[in-house]
A and B are shown apart, each in its own frame.
Chain A
Amino acid sequence: GEDVEQSLFLSVREGDSSVINCTYTDSSSTYLYWYKQEPGAGLQLLTYIFSNMDMKQDQRLTVLLNKKDKHLSLRIADTQTGDSAIYFCAESRTGGYNKLIFGAGTRLAVHP
């Protein structure tokens, strides 16, 4: 995950919005993804964005991409306790057989 960086921890109050940030280094990235991992479980794909887009919205999730700054964010509206998990940002590069390069993950804690 050395080419993809995320902050390690985020704590929010239930009902507030959460914003999880990610920076990446490779300008040839084609797609960028957000995955969610709950304790002891595999990774659940939440959403992805193509590199020529700057925003994608899917229900409570909004992805923003600033390609110039190589910055990706995931906003979760009306955060619930069930959103508590580790969130991973990942990039897929041109010519790399679409293998994913992951960040170390951001642990989101939602408290009442």
Chain B
Amino acid sequence: DTGVSQDPRHKITKRGQNVTFRCDPISEHNRLYWYRQTLGQGPEFLTYFQNEAQLEKSRLLSDRFSAERPKGSFSTLEIQRTEQGDSAMYLCASSLSVASGNEQFFGPGTRLTVL
């Protein structure tokens, strides 16, 4: 399967714990996005990488959130001191900058539940 993959698919954690999610984009895609989706809502943009550079962060991304893409391939999203309000589906998408429509292809998501 050459699509976007995310790991883990589900994560249950206790409030105050740290969690880290991984995203592997489609191999030749240089753009990588993180979104968050809560129940009954559409995805909301969190952050964007072009290659290894993090070029934009949403105001939704508090100081407890950090994302990296160290070699311009896979990316990690870490949430420190999780809160119940962090419970959501975290979606990763990738695209190719030279593609005419900049189509973003999404992974299956990581569902986070904070108890």
Main secondary structure on chain A at its contact with chain B? strand
Q: Number of A interface residues, CB 8 Å?
A: 25
Please choose the segment from B12-20, B65-73, B76-84, B105-113 that sits at the chain A interface, where 4 or more of its residues have CB less than 8 A away.
B105-113
Cα distance A96–B56 when bound, in Å?
9
Contact in complex: A50, B50 (CB < 8 Å): no
- Which residues of A have CB within 8 Å of B103? 33, 45, 48
Cβ of B40 within 8 Å of any chain A Cβ, yes or no, is yes
List 29 A-B pairs, Cβ < 8 Å. A31-B101, A31-B102, A33-B101, A33-B103, A41-B108, A42-B4, A42-B107, A42-B109, A43-B93, A45-B103, A45-B104, A45-B105, A48-B101, A48-B103, A92-B102, A97-B48, A97-B56, A99-B45, A99-B48, A100-B33, A100-B35, A100-B43, A101-B45, A102-B44, A103-B42, A104-B40, A104-B41, A104-B42, A105-B42
